[in-house]
Structure formats: structure tokens, C-alpha cells
Amino acid sequence: MESRLRYLSISHHTAPVARRERFHLSDTQKQKVAHGLQSAFPDLRSLLLLVTCNRTECYFESKQTAAAEVRDYLLQLIVGSVEASDQSDFRLSDRTKDTVLHLLRVSAGLESSVLGDSEIIHQIRKAYHFSLENNLQGSHLERSMQTLFRTHKRVSNETGFRDGTTSTAYKALKLIGDTFGSEASQKKILFVGAGDIVRQLFKYNSKFGYRNIFVTNRTMARAERLARLNKISAWPWEKLLKNDLGEFDVIISAVSHASGLIHKGIGVDKPVLLVDLAVPGNFSPALATNPAVEMHNLDSIASQLKSNRMARNAAAENVEEIIHQEWSAFNEWQEMQPFRSLMAERKKQVFKTLKRIGVAEGHGWSKGEISVLSNRIMRKILKKPETLQNSKNLEKLIAQYASVPAL
């Protein structure tokens, strides 16, 4: 049975945030899931775990293990039971072609809540790095990632699909200006977290120039490092845990697995902007009942970012064409796999047979000379591909060319 690349996905397309956030895996949980899957399914050859704010996806290569089996394993592991209502939250496929097409569309941002999301490619790179670190890359996954990165480069160079920001981090910073107008530069801002999104906030702040920024994180060493790199100040995590936050005009939070982290302590005598970029949410929904508070979360930001959708839609057709071209090239590679495998098998046979003939007839060929003659015979075989299917005919052809005196 041939090995296939398969996938399963729970995303904003298939389930609301309250249901999909159960599958938002931390780095420690990813390790646990990866080891568990390898133990439960010995034929699993490769694994890519993609976890973002809006999706959790598992791509894997196997001969027998189906995507539905892996889905049910994850349900049992994470939820504690396998129910039809939970199963229906997942999209899945056991076909390599469908899996690669889905991966290409996800990486291009065509499946994102905001069309053309530019952060997804960085998240995929991070997920693939995890696969490489754990030696979980198979031939199909490796080839699909090569196709993915080539597609990304073409989309960036050949279309206007990346023009105009649809970055969540960029929009979060823009909300400060939208809320406070000319006074925005004077506001005291707190970034909560030290992950990818907070690093993106610092990156995009070069366009806004906010200076009165503080950063905090449960691992203070990471917050202090970000503070040094960006020439700002770290703020004590202990004060955050006490929700002693009255001094801040803006709080942008992106801490994973910290539901309701901030639930009080917001200033009531002045306007305050709260931006929740975490899943599950870091801010208690009750804070929004304060008339002085303006609160935004991932869903509201995604809605606002749709202002760039028309331009993206115009370029999306070109992106689809590029994806189709690269997907077709991958399919051609896949269809040639059995032939390449047979060629590799026959080349080994040619080498072993030549080695045996050399010993039996006293030719005294070196390993290098046998390799040269093997390559010559393989080129002849390619002109008679029917020989590949018949081992006996191949032996005759080898004997014939082995009698050639000059190497």
C-alpha cells in the first residue's frame, strides 16, 4: 500500500472559537501529541502540527492510518470522549492531492479569516521547524513544503496579493490612533506576552512611533529581552496578576492559555482601549460593560480588516492560478514516484549483478568502475523501459553490456 499525505483541520470555517480553542496546543502539548501519535500509529511517517489563533491542523504521512483515526485519537486525548458533534467540527482528507491543495491554500492566506493573512506563512515555518527538530519529515511532506515555499515566493513576486496590510498586529496598533486621535502618542501602552504576535507589534510600531510602551510576560526574562531590544521598559508580571492596571490607557494582550487573565483593575476615570489577541481570550467580557472601555478581540479586528478584501479579491484569481500550477507540478512528481522507486530498485540490482559478474569473470572492477558501468546500463534501460518490469530480461541486458571491454 502506498504512503499518503493526509490532514485534519478544525478552524473558523468549521467551528466557533469556544469549540476550537480546546485544541489550541501549547509547545509542551505538541510534544505530547506528537509522541502519542507515533506510539498509537506506528506507520505514521511524518507530522506537521499547525496551531494558530483560528485553526489547529494535523498533516501526516501514513500507509494505513486514516485521518478519521487521528481525529478520534485527538478527541479522546483532549476532550476525553469521541462524540459525533465533535467529529463534525473537523474537515479531513486521506488523499495526498487534496491535502497538498489545502495546505497551499492555507499558506497563501486564502483560507484565513482575513484574506491574504501574511502571518500564516511564519506560523507554518515554525510548525515545519518543529517537524524537522523531531525528525518527523517524510518525502511527501518535505516535497509539499518545497512546493509551498516556492508558491509563496511566486505569490509575493507576481501578484499584488500582499499589498495593503491585513496584519492583526498592525491593526491593533492602528486602533490606538483611531481611538485617541492626535493624543495617541501620549498614551501609556502595555503589551502582555512575548510570543509571535507581540514581536509583530514591536515590528509594526516602527510605522507608528509609539514610545510610552511597557511589556510584561509570565517569563520575565523574555519580557526584559524584548524591552532591551526595543528600548522600552519591562513591567512586573506580579502586578499584572493582581490586575493593578489603572495607569495604562491601552492594553494589548496575547498570552496563550490564559483565559480571563485580566478581569479587573482597569481605569474608570478615563477612556481605555483593550485589544485581546489571544485564544482563549485574556480579557473578561465583563470589562466591556464599563462605558469608559473600548474592547476589541480577534473577531472584531478581522471584521474591520475586511476593508482590504476587494483589492485582495482582485488578486486572488492570480493566486489561485499560481497554486494550481504548483499543485499540478507536485502531482506530476507524485505520479512519477512508483517509477523512481522501481528505478532505484533496478539500479541496486544492476550494481549487485555487475559486482557478481566482475568477481566471477575476474575483471577486477573497482567500486567506481562498477558505478560508471551501472549508470551506462541504466541509461540504456531508459530507452527500453519495458525492461524495468522484467527482472530476467534485465539480467540479460546487464550480461550483454558487462561484456563491453572498455569502461
**Which residues are part of the catalytic machinery?**
53
- Give the span between the Cα atoms of 103 and 357, in whole angstroms: 49
Q: Does the annotation list 58 as a binding residue?
A: no
Q: Does the annotation list 232 as a binding residue?
A: no
Give 194: exposed, middle or buried? Use CB within 10 Å, 0-12, 13-18, 19+.
Answer: buried
Q: Does the annotation list 156 as a binding residue?
A: no
DSSP character string of 75-119: HHHHTSS--HHHHTT-EEE--HHHHHHHHHHHHHTTTSSSTT-SS
Q: Does the annotation list 113 as a binding residue?
A: no
The CA angle 360-385-328, to the nearest 5 degrees, is: 135
- Give the span between the Cα atoms of 368 and 199, in whole angstroms: 54
315, 161 Cβ separation under 8 angstroms: yes
114 contacts: CB under 8 Å, gap ≥ 6: 166, 168, 302, 305, 306
Give 358: exposed, middle or buried? Use CB within 10 Å, 0-12, 13-18, 19+.
Answer: middle
Alpha-carbon separation of residue 197 from 12, 53, 203, 230, 298 (angstroms): 19, 10, 10, 15, 12
Q: Does the annotation list 249 as a binding residue?
A: no
Q: Does the annotation list 112 as a binding residue?
A: yes
DSSP character string of 204-240: HHHHH---SEEEE-SSHHHHHHHHHHHT-EE--HHHH
DSSP letter at 25? -
Torsion of CA 108, 121, 299, 83, to 10 degrees: 90
Q: Does the annotation list 117 as a binding residue?
A: yes
**Coarse DSSP helix, strand, coil percentages of the chain, rounded to the nearest 5 percent:** 55, 15, 30
Q: Does the annotation list 197 as a binding residue?
A: yes
Q: Does the annotation list 119 as a binding residue?
A: yes
Binding site for substrate: what residues are annotated?
52-55, 112, 117-119, 123
Binding site for NADP(+): what residues are annotated?
193-198
